[in-house]
Amino acid sequence: MSMKRREFLKTTAGAAAALGTLRGRAWGQAKPVRIGYTLSATGPYSVGAGITQGPNYTLWQAQANAKGGLLVKGQGRRPIEFISIDDRSEHETAVRFYEKLATDDRVDLMLPPWGTAMNFAVAPVANKYGYPLLGPTAVSNKIKDLQLPYFYALLQQPDQIMGAFAGILKELKAQGKISKIAIAYVNDLFGIELNASAATALKEAGLEAVDVKSYPLGVKDLSPVLKGFKAAGVDAFVGLTYPPDNILATSQAKEVDWNPPVWLAAVGTAFPFYRDRFKGAEGVMGIAGWNPKVKSAGAKEYFDAHVKKHQKEPDRWASAFAYASLQILERCVAEVGLDRPKIKAMVDSTEFQTVAGPIRFVKGSNVSTPGMVGQWQKGEFEIVWPKGLATGTPVVPKPAWA
Amino acid sequence: MAGKLALVLLLMALIAAPEILSPYHRSLALAILADVALAVSWAFFSGPSRYLSLATGAFFGAGAYLTAIVGARVPWPLPVLGGALMGCAMALVVGALALRLRGPYFAVFTFGLAELAKHTLIWYETGVTGTVGRLLLAPPGPWTLYYTVLCLAGLAVVTALLLRRSRWGYALVGIGADEERAETLGIDTTRVKVGTFALSAAFMGAVGAAMAPRWTYLDPQVFNPFVSFQTVIMALLGGATTVAGPIVGAVFLGLASEILLLKFRYFYMLGLGLTLIVVVLALPSGLAGLASRLRPSPSPLPRPQP
Amino acid sequence: MGLSPTLVVDIVVGGLITGGIYALVALGLNLQYGLMRVLNVAHGEFLMMGAYLTYSLHTAWGVNPLLTLLITGPASFGAGLVLHRLLYARVLAGGEAAEALESRSLLLSFGLLFVLQNAALLLWSADLKGYSYLAVPLRFLGSVFPANRLVAAAVALAVSLAFYVFLQRSFLGKAIRALMQDPEGAQLAGIDLSRVHGLCFGIGIAMSAVTGSLISMLFELTPFIGLPYTVTALVVVILGGLGNVVGSLLGGLILGLVETASVYLAASDIRLIASYAVLSLILILKPSGLFGR
């Protein structure tokens, strides 16, 4: 009943808003700024797209339009209109739709799709038609090989992430809290690159993994790997994971009665969903990038607005970078208008202050955000490494699984 | 006469298309032409012989990954030729082993092929090259791709037409009707089956190789089982025992899903599913069956009596 | 690394856990494929639906996941009867050549697959969904196993065996076996083909949905988890022989053992290579499956 009413209210509100824009246009007022993107609503990429990117796009649009629209230099505020399509998690479909956005819809700006492979696929199109594309979910050492001047990667890359992992592990070992590290990685590009970076970073830190195991995408049973690590006396588990295998490994660790002092994993740990799934996930560590306690301007406001709009918290890694990419675009449009080469020039030469901290690009890579490690502590994913950015101190050994 | 004129006009339109169409519509045409090539080449083997092959994804993937590996080191049409050879070679090996299998056994075996290829490749890449996936940094231009795929689709259609009228084609129909009888009539069934299977695989490998540059980044996930399924859907939807059927099926499915995707973001799969169900229930012999029912002079299928 | 007793226990019990689940999905598919020649590629979608139903019943009302089988089973059985009546019976009544029927029912199944995935997407969204149930270690023969997996596999095997007994003992079961062995002869003996088909379709789908309820205790759910199970079920059906119930049961267990052994003795990423390699080898040596006629 209440659901229906809420739906009804939403529809009515939507209709009213539509009426509003219609009237706006009838009065000859601001033409909307048209922004195009595809996000996977179906297929395997839809999970990540729905957590990290989609909610931030719509939040930003709603916030800007509530203020009367996006401030465009010399033109005042213009409402934001999204032209968005489901790419079905298919690269060919995404490429085609970005061509459509560029040549048929002739949108003013473009936002990237979700995921590394998708960004690889559409980046050449954006580059060809001169659309700056600021990707918050592209992680790969191959990005720099692309050499596409209009493509920017906001997130920390494998070397930075693994550098942070090695940093905290080295300190914990020096404190005598751990001695044996083991790695399990998913054998696709992401896992393989992280694993290669891990080998280098661990070596530089004077550490060595006693065991390294790979497993395929869509794995259904990780207990053999975990039992093996447990039998070998491993006390620091490093999982270079995607969300489903991360959750599988976490639940199976408890089920095979293994609670290593350090449990450190890649994608998925920073999701509020993960915390809730494992009753707080107290003491679990993972890749971090942000939390509402960081000192960046607007961090807390962003967190609250996200919760208010979507009734769910942003994740503590890439979400804030998705929002930051929109803040960057917003500032550029305010200062140089919708002239895309000028936007590119500004992105290239400016250090931006965002909810995710300062961001500056050198050759398309964000050089301002270091790799970070976070740890769930009493409901918040505290940043525990590097020390300069820490919002908490690491708790090792982690408490027993809840 | 009118039919021939229409055909010539259609051909001219297809050749002139990149000139007239926007880049988006050209890409849509490219994707649909690739599907036409896949569906037609699938149907000229699986239609008459009634061996339901789910190996399309394996041959397509092999061609695509080949392009990704050789990259810009070889001039353009060579990767496509390589893809064709690759598909052909795989099909010869698989065909020799698997064409003893009948019906569902053959279908599942061929499906396994794509999975086997994918996971072996991942295992090899991780273990030996230490990385997985390739970037294609200097892809051929969109015009080149369009005409390459147009040629492949055209060749596939011509092959299907020629095959239909040849002794080889009749032998395939005979195999589909009753393999043992065909054998007693003196048909070298193994040669006919493996030969045609390899020919259709050559097209699939070539299409994979030609479409690979569209993605920029390729990893072993290009061995996508959905390619196999989609090909089967297109061919069966149109009617797999005719030449027109797979073409109609591919064009219909391509346009229908594009329109549904653009108009109904959250319901497009529902629309697609219901479309399939309605077509199956309303048109027992596929979309092409509808066309031949409307036309006064249907081209009758050489449907043998079992 | 030698074969220590613990390792043997790990492999055998682990294999039976995986295999028990495979066997139940495969049994359901075999009923549809073996009996009616309906290659139901939407089989796994019913598993996905069953899993979501259990998830919702458990998280919203606190219903014990194992008790939800009593809801997902009958509900999906009913859905199967209706779908058979509305869709498959119409196609199968056409009286065309067997191959034409097979391809039309295959297309229907693809249609169903899309419809069900979209329905799940609208109802539950693409976010990962999951819950913990019996997520505790169980010590067993000197090793340790997840309690939920042991329970899921035990229930799956129990359902499979119950079905086997039903086939052997009951009148309907005998009719089904007669049809699987000799469709024409059985029809002459006065068995109502369409009615038995409908029941079998319903039972097949119920088995898939029940498996879904069980695996919802073990894995995170998305609307796209179904297809891999369809594929595994197909492999098992072919491995054990089309229309062969015992074959599916044993085929499932064998596949489970092969996968688990390859993970323990080699590496996880070998698992899928091993299972397809074994399938290929068996088919090359025995073209109608291990237990095929």
Is residue B225 within 8 angstroms of chain C, CB to CB?
yes
**pLDDT of A235 above 90:** yes
Which residues are registered as beta bridge partners of A353? A358
Q: What are phi and psi of C146, to 5 degrees?
A: -65, 130
If residue B3 lies in a helix (H) or strand (E), which one and from where to where?
Answer: helix B2-20
Q: Sorting pLDDT into bands at 50, 70 and 90, what band is C1?
A: very low
The mean pLDDT value for C182-200 works out to 78
Buried b / exposed e across B25-36, counting CB within 10 Å, b at 16+? bbbbbbbbbbbb
Q: Sorting pLDDT into bands at 50, 70 and 90, what band is B305?
A: very low
Contact yes or no for A221 and C14 at CB 8 A: yes
pLDDT in tens, C71-100: 999 999 999 999 999 998 888 776 667 777
Q: How far apart are CA A238 and CA A232, in angstroms?
A: 14
A–C interface: beta-carbon pairs under 8 A: 97
Q: Sorting pLDDT into bands at 50, 70 and 90, what band is B306?
A: very low
Contact A209, A173 (CB under 8 A): no
Q: Which is nearest to B233 in space by CA: B28, B56, B27, B29?
A: B56
DSSP class of residue A360? E
Residues 6+ apart with CB under 8 A from A372: A156, A164, A287, A288, A289, A383, A385, A386, A389
Contact C231, C255 (CB under 8 A): no
Determine which of A230-244, B245-259, C239-253, C275-289 has the lowest per-residue pLDDT on average. C275-289
Contact yes or no for A120 and B262 at CB 8 A: no
Contact yes or no for A221 and C127 at CB 8 A: no
Give me the sign of the Cα torsion angle A203, A209, A212, A218: negative
Collect all residues of chain C within an 8 Å Cβ-Cβ radius of residue B102: 287
Tell me the shortest Cα–Cα distance from A305 to chain B, in angstroms: 25
Contact yes or no for A255 and C145 at CB 8 A: yes
C272 half-sphere exposure, CB direction, 13 A CA radius: 24
Instruction: Specify if B186 maps to a domain.
Output: yes
The mean pLDDT value for B83-93 works out to 95
Q: What are phi and psi of A181, to 5 degrees?
A: -105, 140
Nearest to C135 among A50, A222, A255 (CB): A255
Q: How far apart are CA B252 and CA B36, in angstroms?
A: 10
Collect all residues of chain A within an 8 Å Cβ-Cβ radius of residue C122: none
DSSP class of residue B284? T
Nearest to B265 among A41, A92, A142 (CB): A41
Q: How far apart are CA A400 and CA B13, in angstroms?
A: 69
Three-class DSSP category at A218: coil
The mean pLDDT value for B147-176 works out to 94
The number of angstroms, rounded, from the C-alpha of B152 to the middle of its chain's C-alpha atoms is: 10
Contact yes or no for B27 and A41 at CB 8 A: no
**pLDDT of A284 above 70:** yes
If residue A372 lies in a helix (H) or strand (E), which one and from where to where?
Answer: strand A372-377
Contact B48, B169 (CB under 8 A): yes
The mean pLDDT value for A162-171 works out to 96
* The predicted structure's pLDDT at residue C161: 93
Q: Which two tokens stand for residue C221?
A: 């759910």
- Tell which wins on pLDDT, A382 or B283: A382
Contact yes or no for C146 and A256 at CB 8 A: yes
Q: Sorting pLDDT into bands at 50, 70 and 90, what band is C269?
A: low
Contact yes or no for B98 and C115 at CB 8 A: no
* Interface list for C 204-243 with B (CB within 8 A): 227, 231, 234-235, 237-238, 242
How many structural domains is chain B composed of? 1
Collect all residues of chain A within an 8 Å Cβ-Cβ radius of residue C128: 47, 243-244, 247, 273
| Structural domain boundaries in chain C | 19-124+134-227
Name the average pLDDT for chain A.
Answer: 90
Q: Sorting pLDDT into bands at 50, 70 and 90, what band is C196?
A: confident
The mean pLDDT value for C193-219 works out to 93
Tell me the shortest Cα–Cα distance from C224 to chain A, in angstroms: 7
B–C interface: beta-carbon pairs under 8 A: 122
Detail the DSSP E strand segments found in A108-158.
109-110, 133-135, 151-153
The mean pLDDT value for B29-45 works out to 96
Helices and strands of chain C, counted as H and E runs: 12, 2
Q: Which two tokens stand for residue B115?
A: 């999975």
Collect all residues of chain C within an 8 Å Cβ-Cβ radius of residue A90: none
Which residues are registered as beta bridge partners of B24? none
Is residue A91 within 8 angstroms of chain C, CB to CB?
no
Contact yes or no for B131 and A192 at CB 8 A: yes
Q: What are phi and psi of A46, to 5 degrees?
A: -65, -25
Q: Which is nearest to B221 in space by CA: B114, B135, B136?
A: B114
Tell me the shortest Cα–Cα distance from A38 to chain B, in angstroms: 11
Domains of chain A by start residue, with CATH: 9-153+294-366 (3.40.50.2300), 158-289+371-389 (3.40.50.2300)
Q: Which two tokens stand for residue A161?
A: 């992430």
Q: How far apart are CA A214 and CA A112, in angstroms?
A: 30
* The predicted structure's pLDDT at residue C94: 67
Collect all residues of chain A within an 8 Å Cβ-Cβ radius of residue C272: 216
Contact A141, A157 (CB under 8 A): yes
Is residue B17 within 8 angstroms of chain C, CB to CB?
no
Three-class DSSP category at A238: strand
**pLDDT of A335 above 90:** yes
**pLDDT of A129 above 50:** yes
Is residue C263 within 8 angstroms of chain A, CB to CB?
yes
Domain span holding position B248: 13-294
Q: In a mutagenesis test of the B interface, which of A120, A122, A190, A214 is the best target, namely the one with the most B β-carbons within 10 Å? A: A120
Buried b / exposed e across B74-113, counting CB within 10 Å, b at 16+? eebeebbebbbbbbbebbeebbeebbebebbbbbbbbbbb
Contact yes or no for A224 and C263 at CB 8 A: yes
**pLDDT of B148 above 70:** yes
Q: Sorting pLDDT into bands at 50, 70 and 90, what band is C5?
A: confident
With CA atoms as reference, the chain B residue closest to C277 would be: B116
Nearest to A216 among C136, C222, C269 (CB): C269
Collect all residues of chain C within an 8 Å Cβ-Cβ radius of residue A251: 132, 135, 146
Contact yes or no for B132 and A99 at CB 8 A: no
Contact C213, C54 (CB under 8 A): yes
DSSP class of residue B230? H
Matching residue, tokens 């359902």: C159
The mean pLDDT value for C10-17 works out to 90
* The predicted structure's pLDDT at residue C103: 84
Which residues are registered as beta bridge partners of A35? A82, A109
Detail the DSSP E strand segments found in chain C.
137-140, 143-146
Instruction: Specify if B303 maps to a domain.
Output: no
Q: Give every strand in the sheet of A209-215, ordered side by side.
A: A209-215, A181-186, A236-240, A262-265, A285-288, A372-377, A380-385
Strands C137-140 and C143-146: antiparallel
Contact A246, A274 (CB under 8 A): yes
Q: Kindly state the percentage of chain C with pLDDT values over 90.
A: 53
pLDDT in tens, C127-141: 889 999 988 898 878
* The predicted structure's pLDDT at residue A9: 46
Q: Which is nearest to B210 in space by CA: B291, B136, B117, B300?
A: B136
CA angle B293, B298, B299 (to 5 degrees): 140
Is residue A273 within 8 angstroms of chain C, CB to CB?
yes
* The predicted structure's pLDDT at residue A57: 97
- Using CB atoms, which chains have 3+ pairs under 8 A with C? A, B
Q: Which two tokens stand for residue B284?
A: 């027992």
A–B interface: beta-carbon pairs under 8 A: 89
* The predicted structure's pLDDT at residue A18: 47
If residue A71 lies in a helix (H) or strand (E), which one and from where to where?
Answer: strand A70-72
pLDDT in tens, A22-38: 444 444 468 999 999 99
Contact yes or no for C136 and A255 at CB 8 A: yes
Q: Which two tokens stand for residue A179?
A: 């001695």
- Tell which wins on pLDDT, B89 or C239: B89
With CA atoms as reference, the chain B residue closest to A94 would be: B215
Contact yes or no for B137 and A95 at CB 8 A: no
Is the preceding peptide bond at A397 cis, omega within 30 degrees of 0?
yes
Q: Sorting pLDDT into bands at 50, 70 and 90, what band is A394?
A: very high
Instruction: Specify if B302 maps to a domain.
Output: no
Q: Sorting pLDDT into bands at 50, 70 and 90, what band is A175?
A: very high
Is the preceding peptide bond at B304 cis, omega within 30 degrees of 0?
no
Contact A35, A111 (CB under 8 A): yes
Q: Which two tokens stand for residue C117?
A: 């995935």
* The predicted structure's pLDDT at residue B303: 44
Q: In a mutagenesis test of the C interface, which of B277, B279, B285, B301 is the best target, namely the one with the most C β-carbons within 10 Å? A: B277
* The predicted structure's pLDDT at residue B295: 55
Torsion of CA B78, B80, B84, B86, to 10 degrees: 70
**pLDDT of C64 above 80:** yes
* The predicted structure's pLDDT at residue A23: 44
Is residue A147 within 8 angstroms of chain B, CB to CB?
yes
Contact yes or no for C126 and A46 at CB 8 A: yes
Q: Which two tokens stand for residue B29?
A: 């045409």
Contact yes or no for A117 and B217 at CB 8 A: yes
Instruction: Specify if B119 maps to a domain.
Output: yes
Nearest to A251 among C117, C126, C135 (CB): C135
Is residue A43 within 8 angstroms of chain C, CB to CB?
yes
Is residue B13 within 8 angstroms of chain C, CB to CB?
no
Q: Sorting pLDDT into bands at 50, 70 and 90, what band is B132?
A: confident
DSSP class of residue A53? I
Contact yes or no for B217 and A103 at CB 8 A: no
Helices and strands of chain A, counted as H and E runs: 14, 17
* Interface list for B 135-174 with C (CB within 8 A): none
- For C100-155, the DSSP string reads HHHHHHHHHHHHHHHHHHHHHHHHH-SS-B---SS-SEEEETTEEEEHHHHHHHHH
CB neighbourhood size of A72 (10 A): 18
Is residue A280 within 8 angstroms of chain C, CB to CB?
no
Nearest to C118 among B97, B122, B269 (CB): B269
Alpha carbon separation from A110 to A38, A134, A206, C243 (Å, rounded): 9, 9, 44, 54
Contact yes or no for C110 and B276 at CB 8 A: yes
Three-class DSSP category at A365: strand
* The predicted structure's pLDDT at residue B91: 95
- Tell which wins on pLDDT, C183 or B252: B252
Q: How far apart are CA B226 and CA B104, in angstroms?
A: 18
Contact yes or no for A214 and B131 at CB 8 A: no
Nearest to A215 among C128, C223, C269 (CB): C269
CATH number of the domain at B162, please: 1.10.3470
* The predicted structure's pLDDT at residue C7: 86
pTM (two decimals): 0.90
Residues 6+ apart with CB under 8 A from A62: A309
Q: Which two tokens stand for residue C193?
A: 């083909």
* The predicted structure's pLDDT at residue A277: 92
Three-class DSSP category at A176: coil
- Tell which wins on pLDDT, A145 or A378: A378
**pLDDT of B301 above 70:** no
**pLDDT of A15 above 70:** no
Detail the DSSP E strand segments found in A106-215.
109-110, 133-135, 151-153, 181-186, 209-215
Q: Which is nearest to A98 in space by CA: A70, A127, A136?
A: A127
Report, in this order, helix, strand and coil percent for chain A, each rounded to 5.
Answer: 45, 20, 35
* The predicted structure's pLDDT at residue A226: 94
The mean pLDDT value for C216-222 works out to 93
